[in-house]
A and B are shown apart, each in its own frame.
Chain A
Amino acid sequence: MKPAAFEYHRPESVGEALHLLADIGDEGKILAGGQSLIPVMNFRLAQPAVLIDVNRLTELDHVSEEADGTLRLGAMVRQARLEREAAVARRSPLLAEAIPHVAHPQIRNRGTVGGSLAHADPAAELPAVMVALDARFRLARAGGERWVAAGDFYRGLFTTALEADEMLVEVEIPPRPGDAGACFLETSRRHGDYAMAGVAVRTTVDGDGRLGQSRLVFLSVGDVPVEVAAGQVTAGEPPSEELFASVARAAAAELDTVADIHASAEYRRHLAEVLARRALAKAAQRAAGESA
Chain B
Amino acid sequence: MASFVHSNINPGLFGKIFRLECPVDRVSFFREFDMMRDIYRVDLNRMFNNQKMKLECPKMAITPGVNSFRSTTSSTSNSTVHADTMSQTVSATWTTWVRDQYIYYYDVETRYEQNRVHAVWSVWTDDATRALYEGVADEITDGLRVSTEQMGQAFERVAAAGVSAGRAMQNLGDAVRRGQEHRIAEVDRITKMAEKRNAAEAKAKDLLLDIIGKDELVVYEETGRVFVKGRKHDYIVQREGFIQQIDKGKIQDLCASINKNKYPLTDNVVAMKLLIESDEDQFLEIANKQGSRKYDELPKAACM
Q: Do A and B bind each other?
A: no
